[in-house]
Structure 1
Amino acid sequence: MYRGISQIICHLFLLGMPTVVFAQDVAAQSPNYEEHIKPIFKQYCLKCHGDDKQEGDLNLQGYGAMLRGGSSGKVVEAGRSSQSVLFQAITEPDDDLRMPPNSPPIEKAKIELIRKWIDGGLLETSASKSMVKTRDLAFKPDANVSGKPAGEPAMPADLPAVQIPKLSRPFPVLAMDVSPFAPLVAVADQNQVRLLQSETEQELGRLEFPEGEPHVIRFSRNGAVLMVAGGRPVESGRVVLFDVASGKRLAEVGDEIDAVLAADLSPDQRFVALGGSGRVVKVYSTIDGELKYKLTKHTDWITAIAFSPDGQKLATADRAGGIHLWDANSGGILLNLGEHKDAVRALDWRGDSRLLASAGEDGRLIWWDTVDGFPAINKVNAHPPQRPPGTYGTIPNGVLAVRFDSEGRLVTSGRDQTVRVWDVDGNEIKKIKMETGIPLSNVITNQGKAVIIGDSAGNLLFNKL
């Protein structure tokens, strides 16, 4: 990836004696170019990237010239160290590509200083203002109730009897969802979906899903329709829409040759988007089952799909970490959201359609501002794992599930066997440690009083907020 980049800054850092680091001085303030970053450049860079000589047309000796970048473009991007060429170069794991060349990596304290400077907005001096623009991300609850039904919200009544399959072990809770306006939760089971009263935890009935394993469950915006997507691996996949009150099948969408791994129902219930191992997102009409359009930009399995609550945008993610934002009506590309370094496991929109949350196997949890694709809140290690005694190597720290509630709070699950609840500003407000199993799915009830967690051992847990 960085061979082209290295041509720009192939001599970005020259070997030299270590600079005296000013970590204590910087601790109480945001790092700036003149006091903290330029001394590092002076020690390592300016012989090849200064006023006298500019390899790749890159001059780091002056603040304005540094911002302009080199012959191949900018080397720093305000607020996004992970997307800045300079930071990528000094943190590249390949010894042959990392800067400075032919030398050990720059010490962690200095790398962290540069990261803070970029993420803090590329301050020139201590009196400068951040180049990261101010964003109004306040949650507007009134925008979240557009789908509220005029009468009583739908609840199951006299559902057809369903035979409960005999299993050698409990089916892992791969998916679940909670009705937006009723005390009702739908939970994945083998060839079935369980419907429970979310306040009493009483089972109200089940829906047959002979198509196979339910991988995705979603209520419609008004709570009257339940979408179930899944199938049988390397055999078949489909999306089924159910009437919540009667359990009747309303529509069957798609005819895949592998299980559907990701899907969503548009807010107006007119379209279903689905995807899986085929790397293609397909958008179908729920009225006649006809294919409306395909999205072919992804390079790996489709792992998550979500329509925005206002119906204007469609977000899709894949196993390689790619996230794309599309016009939901035309299928035209709007934004590429590049930050994750591993599979994206889940996507969810905040109710006002402003923020999109993404969770990845790289441990990142991101709240995206979908106006311009900026990661407004970026937790690089949202579910840090604890290393068991006597273990070595990398410990998985993936974030596996993410869901907003009606108040803009976010609930996430991770491989650290922990469920976390975050407020609208991205601050952790509750942590729930699992005793057994890995939490695979989670929701906050419609009244916001409890978190419901489904784990890999088939357990369903209710935890009060």
Structure 2
Amino acid sequence: MAAPVSFSKQIVPILADQCLECHRAEKAKGSYRLDTFEQLLKTGDSDAAPIVPGKAEESELYELLVADDDADRMPKKADALPEKDIALIRQWINEGAKFDGQDDKAELTSLLPQKKNQSPEKYPQPIPVTAMALNGDGKVLVTSGYHEVLAWDPETGKLRTRLSDMPERVLGLSFVKGGPWLAVAGGSPGRSGEVWLVNFAKPTERKRLAQMRDCALGVVTSPDGKYLVSGGADNRIRCYTLPEGKEIWNLEAHADWILAVAMSPDGSHVATASRDRTAKVMKTATREIEGTFTAHSVPVLSIAFAPDGQTLISGDADGQARPWGLDGKGVKDTTLRPAGRSAVLAVSYLDGNTPLTGSASGQVSVIDAKTRKTRSTLAKHEDRVNALLVFGAGEKQKVITASHDGEVRVSSSKDNKELGKFIASPGW
């Protein structure tokens, strides 16, 4: 006799992938939610029972999945579910629509099965570094891996540890108040996206905060450790409270992918850069949009707040970096051109509000804001610079840069001296 259908193992993945985006607390189309099992059983605007245990044909959820009219069928504006998925839902309802979790009020995403993904012991070739973060004392540098997060000693380049069972591609990393908790964003392009909270000191302590239809492309946490914000290829930005990881708002902030996110030094504002050629600033606690910057004529690839928290810089695909204010207004004749027309993939600031850029040419440039040109070259990678971060201040200030060929470089911002470099891939 075949085993009964498991709600948590077989039904939840379908609902999370195909239905949750339009039927959750922040966006309950038809006043129907299914972000928890308790909500799944409640009626929406139609007043028809979504689930009638033992009777799939009388359950509105099932009826909408098999409707002949495209205008009525769910999911809206998408292909019908595969027949095998519809069959599973039908069988589960007919078997009594049983709940096999521990708490019917828990988020469905918390019930998703955790897959064991195998990362290579030694990488056959260096993997691109698409994200990195440094812990509070500067002794642990984490970088993106394949289904894992890799931790290094930034001074020696020695591999410290590996956090396994992470998204296929890790595209955003941020320590919470310097650690040990680490925010991880990523996914499988075109298929799924994930945001995780992982205890670096005890990797088994982890929580998946969100799963979406496409990749989460960036994540940032507030300096006080109260908020976590992510953005991604579903054009949405999501804000969670920490340490509980509860979503407090979810906003479709852009008309295209959100490629980068940044947090102000005091945590009061979050900024986004998008493929729709705009950048935005919003209040972290309320999601209120304070400014939209529209001066870029091409996709905006990177963004950062200045140390004063009142101005920002955003880099675009045309090789320009533009400073602007919280109200979304730029200043005439302030466009920075650090490396010709090479895309500006990463931006930050050195001491004294000095702009720093990483470009697709591999060049890391210190910019003179007055002349709007490169003052000095901090590093020159052989491949595109995907990420950079600044650590420390004064004469001890360091800049860490990472490129698409897997190379990480540590440089002194004071004299542009290279302090070390290594390939951030096990076996290299």
- 8 Å CA contact retained: 1:227, 1:239: yes
Residue 358 (structure 2) aligns with: 413
Deviation at 1:312, TM superposition (A): 1.4
Distance (Å, rounded) in 2 between the aligned partners of 1:422 and 1:249? 42
- 8 Å CA contact retained: 1:323, 1:337: yes
- 8 Å CA contact retained: 2:367, 2:376: yes
- 8 Å CA contact retained: 2:258, 2:275: yes
2:114 equivalent to 1:169: no
Secondary structure in 1 matching 2:366 = strand
**What per-residue deviation string (whole Å, max 9, x for no partner) do you get for residues 361-418 of structure 1?**
1221122232663348833532115xxxxxxxxxxx2111112356644431112221
Change (3 A) 1:216 1:435: closer
Q: What TM-score results when the alignment is normalised by the length of structure 2?
A: 0.61
Change (3 A) 1:288 1:444: closer
Distance (Å, rounded) in 2 between the aligned partners of 1:290 and 1:184? 27
Change (3 A) 1:163 1:438: closer
Pick one of 371, 385, 388 that aligns with 1:439.
385
Distance (Å, rounded) in 1 between the aligned partners of 2:329 and 2:205? 38
Residue 315 (structure 2) aligns with: 359
Pick one of 383, 395, 403 that aligns with 1:455.
403
- 8 Å CA contact retained: 1:274, 1:283: yes
Distance (Å, rounded) in 1 between the aligned partners of 2:189 and 2:253? 23
**What residue ranges of structure 2 are gaps of 5+ in the alignment?**
1-117, 417-428
Secondary structure in 1 matching 2:271 = strand
Deviation at 1:246, TM superposition (A): 4.1
Deviation at 1:220, TM superposition (A): 2.8
Residue 16 (structure 1) aligns with: none
2:227 equivalent to 1:233: no
Residue 206 (structure 1) aligns with: 162
**What residue ranges of structure 1 are gaps of 5+ in the alignment?**
1-161, 386-396
- Whose strand proportion is higher, 1 or 2? 2
Deviation at 1:203, TM superposition (A): 2.4
Pick one of 324, 347, 350 that aligns with 1:402.
347
Pick one of 258, 265, 269 that aligns with 2:225.
269
Distance (Å, rounded) in 1 between the aligned partners of 2:204 and 2:306? 30
Distance (Å, rounded) in 1 between the aligned partners of 2:204 and 2:309? 30
Deviation at 1:255, TM superposition (A): 1.1
- 8 Å CA contact retained: 1:185, 1:196: yes
Distance (Å, rounded) in 1 between the aligned partners of 2:164 and 2:299? 31
- 8 Å CA contact retained: 1:365, 1:379: yes
Q: How many residues align?
A: 293
Deviation at 1:318, TM superposition (A): 1.0
Moved more, 306-315 or 221-230: 221-230
- 8 Å CA contact retained: 1:282, 1:293: yes
The CA RMSD over aligned residues, in Å, is 2.8
Distance (Å, rounded) in 1 between the aligned partners of 2:216 and 2:356? 24
Distance (Å, rounded) in 2 between the aligned partners of 1:271 and 1:398? 30
Moved more, 311-320 or 163-172: 163-172
Secondary structure in 1 matching 2:216 = coil
User: Kindly, what percent of the aligned residue pairs are identical?
Assistant: 23
Secondary structure in 1 matching 2:248 = strand
Q: What TM-score results when the alignment is normalised by the length of structure 1?
A: 0.57
Q: Which one has the largest radius of gyration?
A: 1
- 8 Å CA contact retained: 1:211, 1:231: yes
Distance (Å, rounded) in 2 between the aligned partners of 1:186 and 1:405? 21
2:265 equivalent to 1:309: yes
